[in-house]
Amino acid sequence: MWLVAGLGNPGDDYEDTRHNAGFMVVDILSSRFRIPLRKKSGNYLSGKGFMEGQGVVLIKPLTFMNRSGLALWEVVSRYEGIEDILVVHDDLDLEPGVVRIRKSGSSGGHNGVQSVIDRLGSQDFIRVKVGIGRPEREPAERYVLRRFTRQERPVMEEAIERAADAVVEIITRGVASAQNRFH
């Protein structure tokens, strides 16, 4: 079974912000595959179902970005049979709208991904990164918590859809196939 975690921050104040790209992708997958997300514990929303015949658990941590690993650890501990973990998150170092897939590796400075690495004790999980660009004159901490501009919105909506497609491709055909198709 697959665990697909979209990273983000809970609450209305953070809805549709750059840092919530992972949440947006999970919302699309939840809708597409009719996997409703419900609160199963205090630390995440989750839904269990199937994508193209593959068992999957979708989650959105409610721990805020920098503590995302706690929610993933709880899910891995709770659900038997999770064999593959896929984390979807924003990436400052990619241009807005770019989607990249990595099989494993460091956090690249992303605190949410670092939290997952720390809690799981491993860097061996797949990442789908959604580029949000790096600000020129604004601190990154503030920039990631802003909503997309009117000019950015169409590019980012397309990128979020492509990232959801990439998740499905990874689950059904593998990482290499997804990298060839989406890079």
Per-residue pLDDT, averaged over 127-139, amounts to 92
- 3-class SS at 51? strand
**What distance in Å separates the CA atoms of residue 40 and residue 59, rounded to the nearest whole number?**
10
Order the strands of the 38-41 sheet from edge to edge: 38-41, 44-51, 54-61, 2-6, 84-91, 126-131, 99-102
Active site residue 110: no
Predicted confidence at residue 41, as pLDDT, reads 66
Alpha-carbon distances of 161 from 62, 73, 81, 116, 158, rounded to whole Å: 22, 27, 28, 24, 5
> Average pLDDT of 173-182?
95
Whether residue 40 is predicted with pLDDT greater than 70 in this model: the reply is no
Distance from C-alpha of 34 to C-alpha of 10, rounded to nearest angstrom:
21
Which one is predicted more confidently, 26 or 108? 26
Lowest mean pLDDT, pick from 38-42, 65-69, 70-74, 113-117: 38-42
More confident residue, 136 or 113: 113
Amino acid making up residue 3: L
C-alpha 69/C-alpha 63 separation (Å) is 9
Alpha-carbon dihedral 63, 104, 102, 156, rounded to 10 degrees: 10
* pTM passes above 0.85: yes
- Identify the band that residue 159 occupies on the pLDDT scale cut at 50, 70 and 90: very high
CA distances from 87 to 97, 130, 161 (A): 17, 11, 15
pLDDT of residue 141: 87
Question: What does the pLDDT look like over 49-101, one tens digit per residue?
Answer: 999 999 999 999 999 999 999 999 999 998 888 999 999 999 999 999 999 99
Q: How many CB atoms lie within 10 A of CB 77?
A: 9
Out of 19, 89, 110, 183, the active site residue is 19
The per-residue pLDDT for 81 is 87
The fraction of the chain above a pLDDT of 90, given in percent, is: 86
Which residues, at least 6 apart from 1, have a Cβ–Cβ distance to it below 8 Å?
Answer: 54, 55, 56, 57, 79, 81, 82, 83, 84
Structural domains of the chain, with CATH: 2-182 (3.40.50.1470)
pLDDT above 70: percentage of residues in the chain: 99
Give yes or no for residue 42 having a pLDDT over 80.
no
